[in-house]
């Protein structure tokens, strides 16, 4: 049985925090859009951290709104 998900508080550069579900699996995070698992370097950078969206999905989102 897998352990339940917990919340992760990520510090932001402006001094605030960003709270998200901690879905770290072997150092990877699940993308909210394609549900693939990616390393931190493969996630979309935002506000001094990363969001739970991989770079390819983030690029596709931007292109869809242009």
The model's pLDDT over 19-56, given as tens digits with 9 standing for 90+, comes to 776 665 666 788 999 999 888 889 999 887 888 899 99
Who has greater pLDDT, 37 or 13?
37
pTM: 0.60
Domains of the chain: 24-66 (3.30.60)
C-alpha distances in Å from residue 31, one per residue of 1, 14, 15, 28 = 22, 25, 25, 9
Please tell me the predicted confidence (pLDDT) of residue 33. 93
Please tell me the predicted confidence (pLDDT) of residue 34. 94
Is the pLDDT at 1 greater than 50? The verdict is no
- Mark residue 40 as left, alpha or beta (left: phi above 0; alpha: psi -120 to 50; beta: remaining): alpha
């Amino acid at each position: 049985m897998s352990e339940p998900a917990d919340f992760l508080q990520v510090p932001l550069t402006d001094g605030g925090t960003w709270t998200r579900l901690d879905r770290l699996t072997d150092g990877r995070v699940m993308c909210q859009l394609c549900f693939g698992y990616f390393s931190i370097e493969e996630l979309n950078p935002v506000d001094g951290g990363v969001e739970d969206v991989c770079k390819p999905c983030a690029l596709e989102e931007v292109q869809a709104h242009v």
